[in-house]
Amino acid sequence: MTTARPTDVPSAISRAELRGRATGAGVMAFFGLGWTACGVTDMPVTAGRAVFAAAALASITFAFLAARKSRAAANAPTDGDPTADTKKKVGRRFGLVVLAEWVAIFAIARVLVATDHAEAIPAFVAAVVGIHFFPLARLFGIRAYHLTGAAMCASALTAAVLAPLTSTAALWTALPGFGSAAALYATSVHLLRVHRGTDGPRRRS
């Protein structure tokens, strides 16, 4: 007689990594909703509410799936889980990346407001957030974060080019808002579906 494995738990992924991916998917879904709110800022009220409602439903769905994946981690193997010391090192490095991100956002926002370019803040924030994914890709061993970061930077660059070129103020919020939201939702799907091996080995130091 054989014992069936829980279908939610990939056999080649450790408990810590499974929980990490579930947490990441939930975080992506949360911020995806925030960026959608930015994207609908200059839309007609009815259409904006409809788009935001659809995004809220998507975020709730991803959060539910992430919670389910996290609970399933109890049945995953602990082989390959990081040591307590490694967790502390990763936590410190993650904290430094996030701190640098927020300092950069605050500084850039202050400069843009002082130079009467406040409308460009969403695009520049999207660029900073996108850039912060590159060190996270190496830190967590998830190569897909490079694509997340590149997509957010691309949406910011597109807004910075097209908004002034077309004199369309709404593009300052629509392009980085919807572009970033799409990148984050896609990353959430990736984190919930991908098994170890697709992103490469997880870093331990």
List, for residues 36-81, the tens digit of each pLDDT value.
999 999 999 999 999 999 999 999 999 999 998 888 766 665 665 6
**pLDDT at residue 8 tops 70:** no
**pLDDT at residue 126 tops 50:** yes
Distance CA(144)–CA(165), nearest Å, equals 32
Q: What pLDDT was estimated at residue 19?
A: 82
**pLDDT at residue 23 tops 60:** yes
**pLDDT at residue 85 tops 60:** yes
Confidence grade of residue 20 (pLDDT, cut at 50, 70, 90)? confident
Alpha helical stretches, state H, 40-143: 45-72, 84-114, 121-140
Cβ neighbours of 16 (radius 10 Å): 17
Cβ neighbours of 124 (radius 10 Å): 21
Burial 94-121 (b: 16+ CB within 10 A, else e): eeebeeebeebbeebbeebeeeeeebbb
**pLDDT at residue 105 tops 60:** yes
Distance CA(182)–CA(53), nearest Å, equals 15
One-letter amino acid for residue 131 of the chain: I
**pLDDT at residue 171 tops 80:** yes
Q: Is 195 helix (H, G, I), strand (E, B) or coil?
A: coil
Q: What pLDDT was estimated at residue 78?
A: 61
Residues of the chain by 3-state class (helix, strand, coil), percent to 5: 75, 0, 25
Distance CA(186)–CA(160), nearest Å, equals 23
Average pLDDT score over the chain: 86
Q: What is the pTM of this model?
A: 0.84
**pLDDT at residue 11 tops 50:** no
- Residue with the bigger pLDDT between 95 and 11: it is 95
